[in-house]
Amino acid sequence: MDATEPVQPSLNSSYVPTALSNQLTSEDEESEDQGPTTSLLPKHSSVPLAVRYSPEDSYCFVYIIFFLMGIGSLLPWNFFITAKHYWLYKLSNNSHSSGSGEEERSDLSDYFESYLAIASTVPSVLCLILNYLLVNRLSSNVRILSSLVVILLVFVVTTVLVKVDVSDCRTEFFIGTLVSVAVVSGASNLFCGSVFGISGHFPMRISQALISGQAMGGTLSAIASILDLAVAKDVTDSALAYFLTADVFILLCIITYLLLPKLAYSRHYMLAATCTSSGVMSEGGGSRVSVPPLQPILRKTWVLGLSVFYVFCVSIMVFPAVSSGIQSVDKDSGSPWTTTYFVPLTSFLLYNVADFCGRQTTAWLQVPGPTSRVLPVLVLCRSVMVPLIMFCNYQPRDHLHTVLFGQDVYPVVFNCLLGLTNGYLGTLPMIYGPKVVPRELAEATGVVMSFFLTLGLAVGSAFSVLIVHCI
């Protein structure tokens, strides 16, 4: 035996691999102290010694990689919805010129964001169902890398089209954009569900890093949009730099994911997950179930899943379709703050920064707990955000002419509250889900929780179209 290798425990002692014991709930930990845990693991002689000891995450490399994966999972969606000025320019009735003047209204530009939300969320639900069916059929590497490649190809095409004149074929450009969004969103959710699934095998800090990264993706896209508006003299130049930034970052996600198996910390937990699966296979007669059982997952997580569903349903009802249509009451002053930068700052940047803060808070504060009845009550209380944002200075108002909150401070406060509560109340059930089920179901549970999230986005996006039409 190598002198540096830890002393092997005696054969008559019981243990649980560290990679798995770190994910136990408090009840599981108590039962572990009282006796051997044998229901989910094979005998200790069949588990490699390497999984019994947890290496350190040197320089937090694995944490950073999962944080980057979180950014990459929602970056495509955020880049599409944040480029509001570009889409208005491309779909308006006077897009022959790229000046800074007012764009003539058209049905395509008025309702683009609502249809964008539908085109992105409906295929996402279907892809997450597919992801659940494939979780035991295709390796996570195949699902993650193939989805990233698809996203990169679509974004390269979108980048090329920035400099193409579509003034004579706006309808075709509109349909093509929605198709691109559908493909990208489906691939993004396949990627997101797969990454969140494998994060379920890691300690909770890794799942939290992934979810915080998703919020940072929105923040970075909002900052990139504002910088492009400030630096670029032409809306197409701004969009070109904007989408090139997305291309580079998606490529970075591919590179960093390929580095993940080379790190000892991540190899350790992935090996522990493999050992758990091997134990289940041996207990089940030597053959692995092709589709994970859904009933035991839902029995443990249905309240958490519905909480995730409703949090994101409420958020997507008003963001970005309604919140990005709120204009400054001083817009006629001609100031860049009230014209060019008001929507990118108050709608996109503030929301995403608040969302990131809410998600990051869960790293230090995890209250209420997974079984608390307070959590769903707080989730239901967010319903009040919908009428609050609807009655801000959203323009144009064709039916609902009343504006109750006519000062610029109101959308600032409401968007911050919307983002903060979305981040905190949306993250808690997401990180609780894979931890309240048996360890061999952690990856499948991560996919199921992602399904609830995306289903909430799909339903909320349908209501957002109705809200925009009603206003």
Average pLDDT over residues 27-56: 45
What pLDDT is stored for residue 98 in this prediction?
45
What pLDDT is stored for residue 222 in this prediction?
85
Asked if 36 contacts 181 with a C-beta cutoff of 8 angstroms, the reply is no
Domain residue ranges of the chain, discontinuous segments joined by +: 59-470
Kindly tell me if the per-residue pLDDT of 27 is higher than 80: no
What pLDDT is stored for residue 394 in this prediction?
92
Confidence of residue 275 (pLDDT cuts 50, 70, 90): low
CB atoms within 10 A of CB 225: 28
Average pLDDT over residues 363-377: 91
Asked if 441 contacts 296 with a C-beta cutoff of 8 angstroms, the reply is yes
Kindly tell me if the per-residue pLDDT of 350 is higher than 90: yes
CB atoms within 10 A of CB 285: 7
Kindly tell me if the per-residue pLDDT of 283 is higher than 90: no
Kindly tell me if the per-residue pLDDT of 72 is higher than 90: no
Instruction: Tell me the backbone φ, ψ of residue 92, rounded to 5 degrees.
Output: -80, 170
What pLDDT is stored for residue 94 in this prediction?
53
Kindly tell me if the per-residue pLDDT of 471 is higher than 70: yes
Partner residues linked to 339 by β-bridges: none
CA-to-CA distance for 385 and 391, rounded, in angstroms? 10
In this structure, of 73-77, 109-113, 366-370, the range with the lowest mean pLDDT score is 109-113
Asked if 43 contacts 298 with a C-beta cutoff of 8 angstroms, the reply is no
Torsion of CA 234, 240, 242, 244, to 10 degrees: -160
Secondary element (H or E) of residue 227: helix 204-231
What pLDDT is stored for residue 461 in this prediction?
84
Provide the mean pLDDT of the chain.
79
Distance of CA 69 to the CA centre of its chain: 10
In this structure, of 295-299, 350-354, 384-388, 446-450, the range with the lowest mean pLDDT score is 446-450
Asked if 449 contacts 308 with a C-beta cutoff of 8 angstroms, the reply is yes
- Would you give the DSSP letter of residue 180? H
Average pLDDT over residues 329-342: 84
What pLDDT is stored for residue 253 in this prediction?
92
Residue 113 vs residue 420, higher pLDDT: 420
Residue bearing tokens 């905190």: 424
Average pLDDT over residues 295-306: 94
Asked whether the whole model's pTM tops 0.75, one would answer: no
CA-to-CA distance for 202 and 414, rounded, in angstroms? 35
Asked if 217 contacts 250 with a C-beta cutoff of 8 angstroms, the reply is no
Instruction: Tell me the backbone φ, ψ of residue 405, rounded to 5 degrees.
Output: -115, 85
- Would you give the DSSP letter of residue 200? T
Q: Is the dihedral of CA 330, 331, 335, 336 positive or negative?
A: positive
What pLDDT is stored for residue 61 in this prediction?
92
In this structure, of 206-220, 263-277, 443-457, the range with the lowest mean pLDDT score is 263-277
Highest mean pLDDT among 130-144, 184-198, 356-370: 356-370
Give the chain's length. Answer: 471
What tokens does 214 get? 């998703």
Highest mean pLDDT among 91-100, 124-133, 355-364: 355-364
Average pLDDT over residues 293-314: 94
Confidence of residue 43 (pLDDT cuts 50, 70, 90): very low
Asked if 271 contacts 48 with a C-beta cutoff of 8 angstroms, the reply is yes
Asked if 417 contacts 94 with a C-beta cutoff of 8 angstroms, the reply is no
The CATH architecture that domain 59-470 belongs to is Up-down Bundle (1.20)
What pLDDT is stored for residue 380 in this prediction?
97
Average pLDDT over residues 38-59: 54
What pLDDT is stored for residue 277 in this prediction?
52
Kindly tell me if the per-residue pLDDT of 17 is higher than 80: no
Among 133, 267, 216, 134, residue whose Cα is nearest residue 427: 216
The rounded percent of the chain whose pLDDT value lies above 90 is 29
What pLDDT is stored for residue 221 in this prediction?
82
Asked if 129 contacts 451 with a C-beta cutoff of 8 angstroms, the reply is yes
Contacts of 346 (CB under 8 A, 6+ apart): 323, 326, 408, 411, 412, 415
